[in-house]
Amino acid sequence: MNLILLAPDDIAHQGLARVTDPRRLRHLREVHRAAPGDRLTLGVVGGGIGRGELLTLDEQEATFALEALDQAPPPALPVHLVLALPRPRMLARSLEHVTTLGVKRITLLHTRRVEKSYWMSPELDAEKIHHHLVLGLEQARDTRLPEVTLEKGFRPFVEDRLPDLLEGRRGLLAHPGMPNDCPRGLNEETLLLVGPEGGFIPWEVEKLLAAGCEGIHLGQRILRVETAVTALLARLF
């Protein structure tokens, strides 16, 4: 928690913030070892970042006197990430990694090699997803929540939504064995598609290439999804 991320509800009135959830209170005590008088970095969801003085801290509540929260959050990556739904534990970690790296649009997609049971996982509850996004923002000192969309059908996604998403974006399909090496240092708006463990099936690859995506690869090593996504984002941008 390199930033204490305040929900609008946490701000009691102008200049005073109240934190009451056990996770953040424990973190303040055990990791920050915070004491009244300490000045910590705070930000408001969707808003600015600044400092606040810890006024009180007990088992139920921490209160802060906010100074101007007038610094902008760090810049976002110009990418919409389309990720084949990973297995639940990998999903949680991948959401944190990509949020930390600055991704603001995430689509979780069904593909042939995504196990159908993954769609029943409690990790997909809106609250759970929100939790992992918040952890990513707190880590990166960011305030802007990514938007997460679920697409439970591959064909409707490719046929009905993909053409619009590729409007004004460069589509990159990351898949082992594609002809082109992953490009470096892009500045342009990009749609990045990453398959599941085991990859997209050939028919899916064909559909995505036919829709206008370029196939790219990261070399001959087979990476876990969470490693691949971080490596792709770090190399592309």
The residues that touch a second copy, with contacts defined as CB under 8 A, are 2, 74, 96-97, 100-102, 139-142, 184-185, 218-224, 227, 230-235
Closer CB to a second copy, 18 or 27, in the complex: 27
Which is nearer to a second copy, 102 or 171 (by Cβ)?
Answer: 102
Q: How far is the CB of 227 from a second copy (least distance, A)?
A: 5
Least separation in angstroms between CB 185 and a second copy: 6
For residue 160, the minimal CB distance to a second copy (Å) is 33
CB of 208 to a second copy, least distance (A): 22
For residue 13, give the 3-state DSSP assignment. strand
Question: Are the CB atoms for 84 and 200 separated by under 8 Å?
Answer: yes
- The type of residue at 139 is Q
Q: Which of 11, 225 has the CB closer to a second copy?
A: 225
Integer-rounded Cα Rg, in Å, for the chain is 20
Shortest separation between residue 26's beta carbon and a second copy, angstroms: 17
Of the candidates 148, 156, 140, the one whose C-alpha atom is nearest the C-alpha of residue 123 is 148
Angstrom distance (rounded) from CA 105 to CA 143:
14
Smallest distance, a second copy to C-beta of residue 141, A? 6
Which tokens sit at 119?
Answer: 């769609």
| Strand bridging mode 170-174 / 214-217 | parallel
Distance, CA of 68 to CA of 49 (rounded, Å): 8
Per DSSP, the residues of 150-180 read EE--HHHIIIIIHHHHTTTSEEEEE-TT-SE
Name the phi and psi angles at 13, rounded to 5.
-155, 175
CB closer to a second copy out of 55 and 182 = 182
| CB of 128 or CB of 235, closer to a second copy | 235
- The smaller minimum CB distance to a second copy, of residues 168 and 177, is found at 177
